[in-house]
Structure 1
Amino acid sequence: MITFDAVEKRFGDNVVLRELSFDVAPGEHVTLIGPSGSGKTTILRLLMTLEKVNSGTISVAGRYLSHMVKGDKLVPSDEKYCREVRMRIGMVFQQFNLFPNMTVRGNLIEAPTRVLGLSKDEANARAQDLLDLVGLGEKIDAHPTQLSGGQQQRVAIARALAMRPDVLLLDEVTSALDPELVAGVLKLLRDIGESTDITILCVTHEMGFARDFSDRVMMFDGGRVIEDAPPEKIFSDPDHRRTQDFLQAVLNH
């Protein structure tokens, strides 16, 4: 579903991702862990086309994302093509990123009506179903400012799902929440993971969640994957000293 092939990303002289290659299978849940600045969020930003690769290619569901085929050449993709492929990808951000001037309903129906061409009725029905799923059915006409952080993050998850994505990206979705709200959001994500076949790529510092939720965990350091294994292997018997040190520091924090 997702393929990174020899991807390099630089910001000036700073190489954030080095010759990065990995695959994520359809329906797989993969969690990226590692120290801050190791390149994890950059991967999500490249998939959302918020950043462009310096070299290498990215493809989603068998179609290039970073590039497009023109004649018999592979050229950097233009905005129109990017938008088309990106429609298959949903993202939930750290800071919710809800539109404050719109109600919860407005936040959920905006993209499905404008981008997918759903009728207002269809989009409203989908919004209500998703809000019921995340336990906020009665908040459909509230504004984001009337909701707690945990409720706003649930709305953000529902908004991402409203586009019926094949791929869902989760970027530290609990880091802006009060500790007592974290468990509820993580349980919701586990339920979504178990009840749908969406491919999920997740960046988190919540190691318990990474252990329970993931099919695979990838440990990043210095823009490279230094370990890639099932969670029971990574958390019980990591091969790499850097992984051991990182997990010890995070779990004893």
Structure 2
Amino acid sequence: MPQSDDNNSAEVPKAREAEEQPLVRFENVVKRYGDNVVLDELDFNVLPGQRVTLIGPSGSGKTTILRLLMTLEQVDDGVIWVDGDPLSHMYRNGALVRASQKHQRGVRKKIGMVFQQLNLFPNMTVRRNITEAPVHTLGMSRDEADERAAELLEMVGLADRIDEHPTRLSGGQQQRVAIARALAMRPEILLLDEVTSALDPELVAGVLDVLREIARTTDITMLAVTHEMGFAKDVSHRVLMFDRGQIVEDGPPERIFSEPREERTKSFLHAVLEAG
């Protein structure tokens, strides 16, 4: 059994109640690719305002969790809940059935994601990359979307690049634009999938500093997959160690990184920190 410091015992903001409804809940979730079971009856909760980091070896199921939340993949069994509403399913005649795409789009509006790949539109300016979705999906006015884009670019240190095209920006700058674009949709949950893995080493610090500032100045819920252990230690309320589709260990970063209880966690952290 995984060692845990109580699944909801992390240091969330003091105003949060321990019995508060989870913002994200995985209930016996199974995901397979052929005969390969990537998530094996996975259960875990994330409370509003928590910043949770998922660590573990490649192929342990971490990114699959984010892809399921973005409905880029579908569960094979179990149910995913977001803010009390089923995401993977919906109610029909009082019973839970597989969700329609329309239902999933509605629930997914609460979630934003920043991917490993930058995924910016090269034919659009930075401004339009950030404003198109709020205007067309949220019904935001063009003026409001422009104002929001300017505020977010100021926050990520790129206010003077609003009318540039992404191809004229460095990889680190493009990733900061991608972060601003995700936040422009005013999500309750921000998913981060190895957002620095495609960057040159000298660009990593700038992106992580932006994310640290977001963590410091907002109460947005974060679910991050990363191999940047220093970042995980700095921003997380909880760290979850994954292996073979299951949570091996769950606890606050100060314990996970200094006194891990599970041998699998110890060996993983030793390998990662030695490589770094």
What is the TM-score with the length of structure 2 in the denominator?
0.91
Give deviations 1:142-200, integer Å, cap 9, x for gaps. 11100000000000000000000000000000111111111111111011011111100
Report % sequence identity. 67
> Residue in 1 aligned with 2:47?
25
Deviation per residue, 1:85-124 (Å, 9 max, x gap): 1111000001111111111011001100000000111111
* In structure 2, C-alpha distance between the alignment counterparts of 1:193 and 1:208, rounded to whole Å: 14
Match of 2:143, SS state, is: helix
Equivalent residue in structure 2 for 1:237, among 237, 247, 259? 259
Question: What SS does the corresponding residue of 1:202 show, helix, strand or coil?
Answer: strand
| From 77, 81, 87, the counterpart of 2:109 | 87
The answer as to 2:29 corresponding to 1:7 is yes
Q: Which residue in 1 is equivalent to 2:18?
A: none
Amino acid at match of 2:76: N
CA distance in 2 between partners of 1:79 and 1:101 (Å): 28
Match of 2:148 among 97, 114, 126: 126
Report the alpha carbon displacement of residue 239 of structure 1 after superposing the two structures with TM.
Answer: 0.8
> SS in structure 2 opposite 1:210?
helix
Q: Does 1:200 align with 2:222?
A: yes
The one-letter amino acid paired with 2:205 is A
Unaligned runs of 5+ residues in structure 2 are 1-22
Aligned to 1:155: 177
What residue identity is the alignment partner of 2:51? H
CA distance in 2: counterparts of 1:100 and 1:47, whole angstroms: 26
Distance of 1:11 and 1:100 partners within structure 2: 33
Match of 1:157, SS state, is helix
- The residue type equivalent to 1:86 in the other structure is R
Structure 1: which 4+ aligned runs deviate by more than 3 Å?
none
- 1:149 counterpart letter in structure 2: G
Match of 1:78 in 2: 100
Alignment of 1:1-253 (within 5 A): 1-253=23-275
Q: What's the CA shift for 1:137?
A: 0.6
Secondary structure in 2 aligned to 1:109?
helix
CA offsets per residue over residues 24-49 of structure 1, 9 Å max, x none?
00000000000000000000000000
State the 1:243 CA deviation: 0.4
Structure 1: which amino acid aligns with 2:255? Answer: K
Q: Give the distance between the partners of 2:202 and 2:236, measured in 1 at CA.
A: 22
How far apart are 1:132 and its partner, in Å? 0.8
Q: What is the DSSP-based 3-state SS (H/G/I as helix, E as strand, rest coil) of the residue aligned with 1:252?
A: helix
Q: What is the letter of the counterpart of residue 151 of structure 2?
A: D
RMSD: 0.5
